[in-house]
A = this chain, B = another copy of it.
């Protein structure tokens, strides 16, 4: 039996997915987060679109701490000026690594201010003099199952490599980063996040709404896809999106980032009609247009030297 109302503390993946699921089952949902953005979104346009799409479904309190007090059978929530009474509260605040009993500090591991081990995300070796490799949900970098599988291999190879420098089993690299909220429309980010882009050398190709009737039937009118592209090489660096079936676009984009694909190479790929993938094509076309315009501008500013001798 579902409650009539629920408060959710934390608007990460779990908070957002559970909040929307419960709201769509008819529960009144109030979800709060100390952070000012839900689901770890760093792209301000994706953030705005996600809030626009989801706030009619659930009340979102962002950027303030949330307090909860028991008032009889109910729970009273406060956040800044806002308050609400709910039947239940779900705490979706993430987990602490389950390493407390291991006394890692005594083993020579350097701990952070929260008392958690510091781990190098490329090698998974813990900081400090201990020869210790930590795989899985221990570090907050990518607490995802498909990453944990890789991390097992990376940690084991790293340990073997440290024991025997002659081993020919190289430590594998990390795959292209990908984060997906199954929120329908999905929120996803791929490759380099928006807040780490060097804007002086980035163009952002955008597609929104729906280009075809079938996408409209799938509810794609609110879709927003943003691809981050190096303006000089044309290489795809990353993407942020909120889109129906966005998880699949995220896969195509992550594969392209991992391969080091350029916008030009991606525009040569097939895009079936009518499909959601046509939005990728539109975003990439937008990026290509900006790159071409920039080249022209840079050329007339003397940035490029004409090496071919042609006019």
Write the nearest CB–CB distance from A227 to chain B, whole angstroms. Answer: 15
A270 to B144, CA, bound (A): 11
A255 to B248, CA, bound (A): 13
For A272, the chain B residues whose CB sits under 8 A away are 144, 146, 178, 180, 247, 250-251
Checking B214, B255, B270, B276 against A270 with a beta-carbon cut-off of 8 angstroms, the contacting residue is B255
**Does A133 sit at the interface, judged by CB under 8 A?**
no
Give the residue of B146, B248, B259, B270 whose beta carbon is less than 8 angstroms from that of A248: B248
A245 touches B (CB below 8 Å): yes
Chain B residue nearest to A180 (CB atoms) is B272
| B258 pairs with A255, CB closer than 8 A | no
| Contact assessment for B245 and A270 in the assembled complex, using a CB-CB cutoff below 8 Å | no
Interface string of A250-278 (1 = CB under 8 A from B): 11101100110000000011111111110
Contact between chains at A247 and B275 (CB < 8 Å): yes
Complex: A248 Cα to B274 Cα, angstroms: 12
A252 to B272, CA, bound (A): 11
For A269, the closest partner residue in chain B by CB is B255
Looking at the assembled complex, report how far the CB atom of A310 sits from the nearest CB atom of chain B, in whole angstroms: 10
Interface membership of A182, Cβ < 8 A: yes
Check if A251 sits within 8 Å of B277, measured CB to CB.
Answer: yes
Q: How far is the CA of A245 from the CA of B145 in the complex (A)?
A: 22
Determine the interface band of chain A, counting residues with CB < 8 A from chain B: 20 to 34
A175 at the interface (CB under 8 A from B): yes
Closest Cβ of chain B: how far from A219's Cβ, in Å? Answer: 15
Q: Report if A270-B175 is in contact (Cβ < 8 Å); known contacts: A248-B277, A275-B247.
A: yes
On whether A258 and B245 interact (CB within 8 A), knowing A251-B252, A252-B252, the answer reads no
User: Does chain B have a CB within 8 A of A176?
Assistant: yes
Q: How far is the CB of A28 from chain B (nearest CB, A)?
A: 24
User: Residues 230-251 of chain A: 1 if any B CB is under 8 Å from the residue's CB, otherwise 0?
Assistant: 0000000000000001011011
**Chain B: minimal CB distance from A240 (Å):** 16
Give 24 A-B contacts (CB < 8 Å), ordered by A residue: A144-B272, A145-B274, A146-B270, A146-B272, A146-B273, A175-B268, A175-B269, A177-B270, A178-B270, A178-B272, A180-B275, A182-B214, A247-B272, A248-B248, A248-B251, A248-B252, A250-B272, A251-B270, A252-B255, A254-B270, A255-B255, A255-B270, A258-B268, A259-B259
Residue positions of A touching B, CB distance < 8 A: 144-146, 175-178, 180, 182, 214, 245, 247-248, 250-252, 254-255, 258-259, 268-277
| A144-B273, A248-B251, A248-B252 known, 4 other contacts, Cβ within 8 Å | A146-B273, A177-B270, A251-B271, A258-B270
